[in-house]
Amino acid sequence: MARLLMAALRSGGHDVFLASRLRSRDGKGDADRQARLVRLGSRYVDRFVKCCESGKIVPPDLWFTYHLYYKAPDLIGPGIAARLGIPYVVAEASNAPKRAAGPWADSHQRVLEALGQAALAIGFNSRDKDCVAPCLGPAGRYLEIRPFLDGLPYPEDSGAGTALRSQRGIAADVPLLLAVGMMRPGVKIQSYKVLADALSRIPPERPWALVIAGDGDGRPEVEACFAPHRDRVHLLGAVDAAQLQALYQAVDIFVWPAINEAYGMALLEAQASGLPVVAGDVGGVPDIVSDGVTGLLSAEGDSAAFAANLDRLLLDMDLAHTFGAAGREQANRNHSLESVSVQLSAALEALPC
């Protein structure tokens, strides 16, 4: 998403440069690491401002930070924006009040202070607004935009389905399902477990085959989850962008429980490729998947409801195709880089200099 935001800004005629590669994330609540990162951030602010003052760097018109949250606060942007007197803009920020105490309390406070300074906060997940918008200062504005993709419209089916079925020995009349996700401990593995359990609830006589794109340290656990379905599940490992696009074109239904998902770019890519989606009703997923129109949503972690939704489409592939066509149309209409570029440019140009 960060790369897409940069592309959208450039598409709107803005000059964009990546100002820093400092990684502020502390995943363990390590106070020493957090303190060291704060010192690094402070030193970077001093260097950047001095470079601007000396003419080594052309001073920016605004500072734009993507994805700050309690584990990864912005240790650079607020200081630079304040010292240069330029607007501070954030995208996909989150506020976690329960982190006001505990090992990330200081980082949480820094997120709140950054939001209080922000002239504009951009959100992709409608469910974030209630926690983020109240943290903005009197002059701060909250802008909701939809997650978006570059290169729309995606190409139509190129015969990839026939090739995949031939490679994997899957009959032409067996519905092909696709799941895409990294195999790392935590919520990704939880999603795979819910999916495996849901498939166990599908009547055994119902034909289906599942293709999984993704890899990681948790692969043995994923393989164990799907062991009861071994003959029907095909793990492809990590795939590149071109291979993933071919998979979207090759299959019939996209499935992902989306445990604790912010919104899920793969869900959007699947819909843009004309696939119906069966997913969990989580976070910003409903901002992408229109329940009963482009796919079917079930409560987070409810494998029985997920299975019922999937079985509904397996029994009615005409409905699945209808959902897929609606998803493609919706993605092309509402989720293109070009449409978001216009929104972003208008919002940034309205900011006080």
Judgement on whether residues 308 and 170 belong to the same structural domain of the protein = yes
Judgement on whether residues 143 and 168 belong to the same structural domain of the protein = no
Number of domains in the chain: 2
Q: Which of 343, 299, 300, 292 is nearest to 320 (CA)?
A: 292
Judgement on whether residues 185 and 213 belong to the same structural domain of the protein = yes
Neighbours of 39 (CB within 10 A): 11
Q: What are φ and ψ of residue 177, in 5° steps? A: -105, 150
Judgement on whether residues 289 and 239 belong to the same structural domain of the protein = yes
Query: What's the pLDDT at 85?
Result: 97
- Whole-angstrom CA distances from 104 to 35, 36, 37, 70 are 11, 14, 13, 6
Residue range 33-60: average pLDDT? Answer: 96
pLDDT tens for 310-352 read 999 999 999 999 999 999 999 999 999 999 999 999 999 999 8
Judgement on whether residues 178 and 249 belong to the same structural domain of the protein = yes
Judgement on whether residues 109 and 29 belong to the same structural domain of the protein = yes
Judgement on whether residues 191 and 313 belong to the same structural domain of the protein = yes
Range of the domain at 13: 2-148+337-349
Place of tokens 């912005």: 74
Query: What's the pLDDT at 230?
Result: 87
Judgement on whether residues 199 and 267 belong to the same structural domain of the protein = yes
Distant-in-sequence, close-in-space partners of 223: CB < 8 Å, separation ≥ 6: 235
CATH number at residue 258: 3.40.50.2000
Q: Which of 94, 114, 37 is nearest to 260 (CA)?
A: 94
Instruction: Establish if 29 belongs to a structural domain.
Output: yes
What is the band of 157 on the pLDDT scale with cuts at 50, 70, 90? confident
Judgement on whether residues 183 and 302 belong to the same structural domain of the protein = yes
pLDDT tens for 124-154 read 988 889 999 999 999 999 999 999 999 999 9
Q: Is residue 249 predicted with pLDDT exceeding 80?
A: yes
Q: What is the dihedral of CA 262, 265, 270, 272, to 10 degrees?
A: 110
Judgement on whether residues 32 and 133 belong to the same structural domain of the protein = yes
Instruction: Establish if 155 belongs to a structural domain.
Output: no
Q: Which of 30, 32, 117 is nearest to 71 (CA)?
A: 30
- Mean pLDDT over the full length of the chain: 95
CA angle 146, 313, 174 (to 5 degrees): 115
